[in-house]
């Protein structure tokens, strides 16, 4: 292997390790990563389950649980990438941009790092799942692992595309929630989206998060009787859409970011 | 001496801006030189530094740093420079050692290992040396949140020098530091400079920090308005003079006239030192003096004059 390959690999390892260390030393953030899933799964999922499960014919808490997994991984990685804009004016990021490391490697390291962070935060959700007695077995979990990683990378690519178009912290804080919150509902994390009015149907199928959520459900429900009621598309179709979007978003996002970064 | 930085006809026009932030600027910096770039806020100093450290694209012009083209060989340029930013660039969640380790890995000096214990022994030795220089042997493995402002700045400089850069860019490095920390920092910088003959490229608003520089370049509205040694700038723009006064002003005035010293005022008397030295003036006077001041110009005065003249 060439010297520059190892050097880049070290840089990716270092950039991603930094994100992970930051998370592990931030107790408030770790606490928050348990509180939000609790609100979503425990409170929202629990109340929906008590009122709707009989009518829809499947356990709503499990439905929300699987959705939150896809949503959290996608969102957490995406917002982690956005932080590169937020702290490039102060903090270590300045140091990143002046180091002899290509912008592509910085983005790659950031995606890997924020994916690791998202996966650590996932442990809170899994723990809640166990607490609320969501049925899980080893085969299911093994099947879901590649899906988890794919959701993170997908969120990373989405984050890169958004970040490339944000010039400063203020616009990041204002625009990012606007791009992420509608997707909560359009992607069917909390509510079924099999039947929707035409406009909402179109928007929901355009929202990238939809495919992350549906992939996680496809993997979780595979071989279960509820599969046909809950899952929109087969994991193969989700995967094809995700791969396509991933490549386009990452490529366009990275090229734009590198260009915008220097051409002010 | 060869040039370590050359800038030829640099122009930077920000998108949506009406005027050029940097407007046809040219200068060279020699190897090992202590070069200061001065100017009011918004004059184009940080823009110039950002273009030289490859984080900002120029509009036009040619630039070389350490023998590499800033546009086409940006990676080599970055490898040859150290940058201390206006805003702190340490990661407060990391320990001092981790901040240094991450820098060293990014610059390709050592492979990344998740803990200090697993890092190569050459790295461990280097870190211990640095800790001694900083005087923080006990705290090197602690998060730097607790460090003082001066200590953090020093750590940044140490970190910026670990890959032995040819040029160290310092963008207002002492802003916000107390006088003691500032002095401490400069002492350290001057030592490093002597030992490693690193070129220093400084911007600052504390003009006294540039008194010892080899050359200063003053820019205003994106244009170079003065480029010279501090000595010749002071000589050109600020008068050196002696102020004397006595309880017996008549006697003193007679004496001044007798020696044909030119002077201003009716007491105190201001004697410009153009033909005579201060010593010649003082030793010629026999009248008992009540006031004796020798005014040596500072770079700050020269700077203010240069800026004032430019505005006129």
A2 and chain B: CB distance < 8 Å anywhere?
A: no
* Out of B55, B91, B106, closest to residue A262 by CB: B55
A98 and chain B: CB distance < 8 Å anywhere?
A: yes
CA distance A84 to A81: 6
* CA dihedral (A140, A146, A148, A150) positive or negative: negative
Instruction: Indicate if the pLDDT at residue A262 is higher than 80.
Output: no
Nearest chain B Cα distance for residue A68, angstroms:
29
Is residue A63 packed enough to be buried (19+ CB in 10 Å), middle (13-18) or exposed (0-12)? buried
Instruction: Indicate if the pLDDT at residue B218 is higher than 70.
Output: yes
Nearest chain B Cα distance for residue A173, angstroms:
21
Residues of A184-201 as b/e, b for ≥16 C-beta within 10 angstroms? Answer: bbbbbbbbebeebeeeee
Helices B149-161, B121-134: inter-axial angle, 10-degree rounding: 140
Instruction: Indicate if the pLDDT at residue B130 is higher than 70.
Output: yes
According to DSSP, the residues that pair with B271 across neighbouring strands are B242
Inter-chain CB proximity A17 and B89 less than 8 Å: no
CA distance B102 to A19: 12
Q: Average pLDDT over chain B, rounded to whole?
A: 89
pLDDT range class, residue A134, cuts 50, 70, 90: confident
Number of Cβ pairs < 8 A linking chain A and chain B: 83
Tens-place pLDDT, residues A165-194: 887 777 888 888 899 989 988 998 888 888
User: What ipTM does this complex have?
Assistant: 0.81
Closest CA to A142 of A219, A82, A69: A219
Residues B82-104 have a mean pLDDT of: 89
Q: Average pLDDT over chain A, rounded to whole?
A: 87
Secondary structure (3-state) at B281? helix
Inter-chain CB proximity B89 and A92 less than 8 Å: yes
Strands B167-171 vs B81-84: parallel, antiparallel or unpaired: parallel
Give the per-residue pLDDT at A86. Answer: 66
pLDDT range class, residue A239, cuts 50, 70, 90: very high
A214 vs B297, residue with greater confidence: A214
B134: left (phi over 0), alpha (psi -120 to 50) or beta: alpha
Counting every residue written for chain A, the total comes to 264
Phi, psi of A184, rounded to the nearest 5 degrees: -50, -45
CA distance A228 to A221: 9
Task: List CB contacts (< 8 A) between A7 and chain B.
Answer: 108
Tens-place pLDDT, residues A145-167: 999 999 999 999 999 999 888 87
B305 vs A84, residue with greater confidence: B305
Counting every residue written for chain B, the total comes to 312
Q: Which of B44, B108, B110, B171 to probe the A interface (max A CBs under 10 A)?
A: B108
Instruction: Indicate if the pLDDT at residue A1 is higher than 70.
Output: no
Closest CA to B208 of B183, B188, B226: B183
Nearest chain A Cα distance for residue B56, angstroms:
4
pLDDT range class, residue A90, cuts 50, 70, 90: low
Instruction: Indicate if the pLDDT at residue A87 is higher than 70.
Output: no
* pTM of structure: 0.84
């Amino acid at each position: 292997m060439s010297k520059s390959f190892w050097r880049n690999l070290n840089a990716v390892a270092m950039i991603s390790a930094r994100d992970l260390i930051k998370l592990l030393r931030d107790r408030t953030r770790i606490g928050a990563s348990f509180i939000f899933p609790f609100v979503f799964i425990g409170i929202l999922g629990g109340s929906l389950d008590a009122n709707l499960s009989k009518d829809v014919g499947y356990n709503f808490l499990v439905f929300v649980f699987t959705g939150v997994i896809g949503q959290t991984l996608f969102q957490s990685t995406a917002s982690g990438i956005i932080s590169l804009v937020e702290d490039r004016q102060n903090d270590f990021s300045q140091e990143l941009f002046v180091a002899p490391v290509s912008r592509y490697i910085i983005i790659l390291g950031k995606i890997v790092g924020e994916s690791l962070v998202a996966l650590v935060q996932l442990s809170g959700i899994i723990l809640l799942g166990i607490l609320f007695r969501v049925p899980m077995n080893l085969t299911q979990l093994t099947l879901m692992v590649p899906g988890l990683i794919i959701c993170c990378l997908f969120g990373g690519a989405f984050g890169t595309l958004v970040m490339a178009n944000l010039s400063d912290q203020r616009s990041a804080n204002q625009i990012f929630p606007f791009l992420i919150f509608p997707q909560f509902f359009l992607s069917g994390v909390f509510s079924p989206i099999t039947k929707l009015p035409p406009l909402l149907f179109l928007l929901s199928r355009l929202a990238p998060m939809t495919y992350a959520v549906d992939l996680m459900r496809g993997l979780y429900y595979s071989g279960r009787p509820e599969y046909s009621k809950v899952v929109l598309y087969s994991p193969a179709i989700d995967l094809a859409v995700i791969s396509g979007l991933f490549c386009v978003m990452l490529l366009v996002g990275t090229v734009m970011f590198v260009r915008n970064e220097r051409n002010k | 001496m060869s040039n370590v930085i050359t800038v030829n006809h640099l122009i930077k026009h920000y998108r949506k801006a009406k005027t050029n932030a940097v407007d046809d600027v040219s200068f060279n910096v020699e190897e090992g030189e202590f070069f200061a770039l001065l100017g009011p806020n918004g004059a184009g100093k940080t823009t110039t530094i950002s273009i030289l450290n490859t984080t900002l694209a120029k509009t036009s012009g040619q630039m070389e740093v350490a023998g590499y083209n800033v546009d086409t060989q940006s990676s080599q340029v970055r490898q040859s420079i150290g940058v201390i930013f206006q805003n702190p660039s340490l990661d407060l969640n990391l320990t001092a050692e981790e901040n240094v380790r991450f820098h060293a890995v990014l610059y390709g000096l050592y492979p990344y290992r998740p803990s200090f214990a697993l890092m190569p022994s050459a790295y461990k030795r280097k870190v211990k040396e640095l800790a001694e220089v900083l005087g923080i042997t006990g705290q090197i493995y602690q998060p730097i949140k607790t460090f003082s402002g001066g200590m953090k700045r020093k750590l940044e400089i140490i970190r910026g020098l670990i890959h032995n850069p040819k040029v160290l860019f310092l963008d207002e490095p002492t802003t916000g530091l107390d006088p003691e920390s500032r002095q401490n920092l400069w002492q350290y910088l001057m030592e490093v400079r002597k030992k490693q003959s690193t070129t220093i490229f400084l911007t600052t608003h504390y003009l006294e920090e540039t008194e010892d520089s080899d050359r200063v370049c003053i820019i205003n509205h994106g244009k170079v308005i003065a480029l010279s040694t501090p000595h010749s700038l002071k000589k050109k723009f600020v008068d050196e003079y002696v102020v004397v006064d006595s309880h017996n002003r008549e006697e003193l005035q007679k004496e001044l006239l007798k020696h044909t010293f030119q002077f201003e005022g009716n007491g105190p008397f201001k004697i410009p030192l153009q033909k005579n030295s201060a010593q010649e003036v003082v030793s010629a006077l026999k009248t008992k003096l009540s006031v004796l001041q020798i005014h040596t110009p500072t770079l700050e005065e020269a700077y203010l004059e240069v800026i004032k003249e430019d505005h006129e």
